[in-house]
């Protein structure tokens, strides 16, 4: 039931909800990926292989730090969706206040730590000597955008928790368009702007993220007078303690999970770096195809988490089984189609980003191996979405640890040495997809994910039928 307060996902058609709710998120993901592709084209085609390798080396570090923010905002999404589904609006407002303080604080702290330890981290990753200096410069500028990115993560997760996936899309679109326009201007020094080369892409990202965050906050502030549940305000610090503790209880495992994924990428990228610049560039170019394949799965997983959270908060456990089944159909089907394209046309896809024949040859072997297993990744996010929606983030963290640190990283190291080729890393990544899917699906089938529900809505809860405006006015007094 859509309204200005959000969308009730606890009634109506499950497949329709999955499509209508996840579609704006998927479009947003494609917008971000499109920008990433455009950026890769500028860097790879005009700045050379060394510049592309610098971006490739930097990405896992950025993603590791982003993992903390994404994990904490996953907790926000879970708590908001469960509170919204149960119509506990005062509790929802406390989640908004607590998450705002927590996320911005983390963003500032991690920015400071990243700026301080960037050279040491890049050295630990065995970054090639001719890539090291540009990587340090690029990464230090990019990290300045963390507080703004974290703020966008938080607002997006809150809005999506109330069933609103469209509003974040509009502001993401503006940010992507602005960054896309600024990229060539700052890289090549057009319209009187300085010629910054690779660093121009980092400055473009920083500026566009800041503009998008300010604009979204102003928009939500304007909606506040109409009773918006998600709107900026001065937090009620006296009520933050219990909410922050609850957010941390769910968010820390989720942040660990996200960071573990990223740290696994750092380790694997380090192994790839040991095989030289060509291997690093091939891994970076092929990883762009991964981004396309992973988009439907990741966004479907977030949509399923919100759907499950609202329905579990409302006590509608029976609908969760239907959410899982339809999630497998949509996520599995989309990733299977992308997998077929990656395996059938790998060279054509790679030539979009790089023209070096040696890099393309190695990238083709990656897509033939890893691309064939995309569907397993897609199915993993369906079961993980249900489990996360129940607040059992510790479980998905455990399966991620198993996949990355028991399978992928050790197997990548061992196979690459045994085969005397970076292709051993490709086989390890494919194997980790399969292990992750089997572990996640087995836990979902066990039904144990129902136990750690954050707070079950009591049957017949009168707040469940309350009008959002009236409930918000009576409980918070801010309409």
For residues 43 and 37, give the distance between their C-alpha atoms in angstroms, rounded to a whole number: 10
What is the signed CA dihedral for 43, 48, 53, 56, rounded to 10 degrees? 10
Strand partners, 3: 6
SS3 content of the chain, % helix, strand, coil (to 5): 80, 0, 15
pLDDT of residue 475: 33
pLDDT of residue 232: 66
Dihedrals phi, psi of 451, to nearest 5 degrees: -65, -45
Residues of the chain under the 70 pLDDT cut: 1-6, 37, 45, 224-228, 232-240, 262, 451-479
pLDDT of residue 440: 92
pLDDT of residue 432: 94
Residues 6+ apart with CB under 8 A from 73: 99, 103, 150, 153, 154, 156, 157, 251
For residues 49 and 436, give the distance between their C-alpha atoms in angstroms, rounded to a whole number: 33
Task: Residue 140: count other Cβ atoms within 10 Å of its Cβ.
Answer: 17
pLDDT of residue 88: 76
What is the signed CA dihedral for 241, 244, 245, 247, rounded to 10 degrees? 160
Q: What is the mean pLDDT of the chain?
A: 82
DSSP code for 351: T
Contact at 8 Å (CB) between 276 and 359? no
pLDDT of residue 148: 93
For residues 139 and 196, give the distance between their C-alpha atoms in angstroms, rounded to a whole number: 14
Contact at 8 Å (CB) between 393 and 254? yes
Task: Residue 338: count other Cβ atoms within 10 Å of its Cβ.
Answer: 22
Provide the greatest CA pair distance for the chain: 68
Contact at 8 Å (CB) between 323 and 45? no
For residues 455 and 447, give the distance between their C-alpha atoms in angstroms, rounded to a whole number: 17
Task: Residue 287: count other Cβ atoms within 10 Å of its Cβ.
Answer: 20
Contact at 8 Å (CB) between 262 and 287? no
pLDDT of residue 414: 95
Residues 6+ apart with CB under 8 A from 479: 226, 227, 469, 472, 473
pLDDT of residue 451: 66
Task: Residue 468: count other Cβ atoms within 10 Å of its Cβ.
Answer: 21
Which pTM does this prediction carry?
0.72
Dihedrals phi, psi of 443, to nearest 5 degrees: -70, -40
For residues 106 and 168, give the distance between their C-alpha atoms in angstroms, rounded to a whole number: 21
SS3 260: helix
pLDDT of residue 463: 41
pLDDT of residue 130: 80
């Amino acid at each position: 039931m859509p309204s200005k307060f959000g969308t009730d996902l606890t009634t109506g058609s499950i497949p329709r909800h999955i499509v209508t709710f996840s579609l704006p998120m998927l479009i947003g993901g494609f917008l971000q990926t499109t920008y990433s592709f455009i950026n890769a084209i500028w860097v790879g085609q005009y700045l050379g292989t060394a510049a592309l390798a610098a971006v490739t080396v930097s990405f896992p570090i950025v993603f590791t730090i982003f993992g903390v923010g994404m994990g904490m905002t996953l907790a926000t999404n879970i708590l908001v969706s469960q509170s919204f589904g149960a119509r506990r609006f005062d509790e929802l407002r406390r989640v908004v206040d607590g998450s705002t303080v927590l996320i911005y604080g983390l963003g500032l702290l991690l920015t400071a730590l990243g700026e301080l330890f960037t050279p040491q981290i890049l050295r630990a990753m065995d970054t090639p000597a001719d890539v090291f200096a540009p990587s340090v410069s690029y990464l230090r500028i990019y990290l300045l955008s963390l507080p703004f990115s974290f703020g966008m993560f938080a607002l997006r997760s809150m809005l999506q928790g109330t069933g609103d996936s469209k509003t974040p899309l509009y502001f993401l679109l503006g940010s992507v368009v602005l960054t896309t326009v600024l990229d060539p201007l700052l890289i090549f020094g057009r319209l009187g702007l300085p010629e910054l080369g690779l660093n121009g892409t980092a400055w473009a990202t920083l500026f566009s993220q800041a503009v998008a965050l300010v604009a979204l906050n102003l928009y939500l502030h304007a909606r506040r007078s109409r009773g918006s549940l998600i709107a900026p305000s001065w937090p009620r610090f006296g009520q933050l303690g219990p909410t922050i503790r609850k957010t941390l209880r769910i968010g820390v495992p989720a942040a660990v999970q996200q960071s573990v994924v990223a740290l696994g990428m750092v380790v694997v990228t380090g192994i790839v770096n040991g095989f030289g610049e060509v291997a690093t560039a091939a891994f970076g170019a092929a990883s762009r195809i991964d981004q396309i394949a992973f988009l439907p799965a990741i966004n479907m997983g977030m949509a399923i988490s919100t759907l499950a959270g609202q329905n579990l908060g409302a006590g509608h456990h029976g609908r969760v089984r239907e959410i899982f089944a339809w999630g497998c159909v949509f996520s599995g089907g989309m990733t299977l189609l992308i997998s077929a394209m990656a395996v059938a046309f790998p060279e054509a896809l790679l030539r979009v980003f790089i023209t070096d024949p040696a890099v393309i040859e190695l990238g083709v072997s990656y897509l033939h191996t890893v691309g064939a297993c995309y569907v397993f990744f897609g199915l993993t996010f369906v079961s993980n979405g249900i489990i996360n929606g129940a607040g059992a983030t510790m479980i998905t963290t455990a399966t991620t640890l198993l996949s990355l640190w028991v399978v992928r990283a050790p197997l990548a190291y061992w196979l690459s040495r045994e085969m005397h080729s970076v292709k051993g890393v490709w086989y390890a990544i494919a194997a980790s997809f399969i292990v992750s899917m089997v572990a996640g699906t087995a836990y979902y089938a066990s039904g144990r994910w129902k136990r750690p529900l954050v707070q079950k809505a009591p049957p017949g809860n009168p707040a469940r039928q309350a009008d959002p405006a009236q409930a918000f006015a009576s409980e918070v007094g801010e309409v």
